Amino acid sequence: MNVDTATPIWLLLVVSLPTASATARMRIWRALKSQGCEALRDGAYLMPAGGERADALQELAQECTREGGTAWLMAVQPRWPSEDEAWQVLFDRSEAYAGLRKTWKETAATLANLSPQELTRLQRRLSREYEAVRVIDFFPADAATETQAAWAELERRIQRVLAPDEPHETAGAIPRLDAGAYRGRTWATRRRLWVDRVASAWLIRRFIDPAARFLWLAQPGDCPKDALGFDFDGAAFTHVGERVSFETLLASFGLEDDAALVRLAAMVHQLDVGGEPVPEAVGFEAVMAGARERLDDDDALLAEIGTVLDSLYAHFKRAAVKEK
């Protein structure tokens, strides 16, 4: 058969292992499943080509050989469009997505009974399970979109339990402001700082108002009329649409052209309301949680976490320069 470059390429791995290698057989089968392969028959596994999938399958083929078996990795093409469609059906993840949504619906009813530590662990476990399905969904369809929306809603519900005083989303455009008119001001937010509030305070002092004074409020209603509130309902700067308060401040003061700040914003967004995973988020969250345990004073907390954010900003700045 002539190779048609317009026809999709698929990968076919054919493996055979000695019957005595039960442990190796199970290990390789699990690896194939996690990669998203589908079995055409015993020992024959199919998946669409793309990305680093061929390299991953080649490593598994080599492992089969080391275990005393045989393996052939081939690039194959369907003969007709209908055959390509039939192969794609094998990778329909609708059932897996439906299982996730069912679990999330049942989980949502139990959130109020869990401690913050249990909620955090639960969220991470469910996120890993969701990601395991999402990364092998090679042909996303309506089920993927529906599940993404369901996950976002579950994350919002978890956050509402973890932080019942977190600000709600507001609608409307974000006006561009002149930072010069916001110098030497008093800024106020809820005490016992967490990610969005501490990052926003750092951003204010570092890029907007170097002489900023901060008030840490027991209740949002305690905010003085002459203070600029942030990250609570009714504050001057809070969640707008999908933006968290840090992102609202970026947009308000024209800081979105700074690639390093945008990368910091992605991290803050993920830790505050969920979203696309950011590699640095787990480490920053651990440092933030540890500092919060050690320090009761929010000024001290801002000072300590501010140095961490300074370092992350410098790291992202250097990375942004290299990417140009």
- What whole-number percentage of the chain has pLDDT above 70? 96
CA distances (Å), origin 219, targets 47, 115, 222, 237: 55, 22, 5, 16
State how far the Cα of 198 lies from the Cα of 246, in Å rounded to an integer. 9
The pLDDT tens digits for 96-139 are: 999 999 999 999 999 988 887 788 889 999 999 999 999 999 99
The mean pLDDT value for 207-230 works out to: 95
Confidence band of 277 (pLDDT split at 50, 70, 90): confident
Instruction: Please tell me the CATH code under which domain 10-89 is placed.
Output: 3.30.70.930
* Domains in the chain: boundaries: 10-89, 94-162, 179-323
The pLDDT tens digits for 301-313 are: 999 999 999 999 9
Mean pLDDT taken over the chain = 91
Note the pLDDT of residue 103.
96
**Higher model confidence: residue 166 or residue 145?**
145
Highest mean predicted confidence (pLDDT) among 12-21, 145-154, 269-278, 297-306? 297-306
Residues in the chain: 324
Which residues share a beta bridge with 10?
48, 76
Note the pLDDT of residue 164.
65
pTM to 2 decimals?
Answer: 0.58
What element of type H or E holds 212?
Answer: none
**Structure tokens given for 200:** 């926003």
- What whole-number percentage of the chain has pLDDT above 90? 73
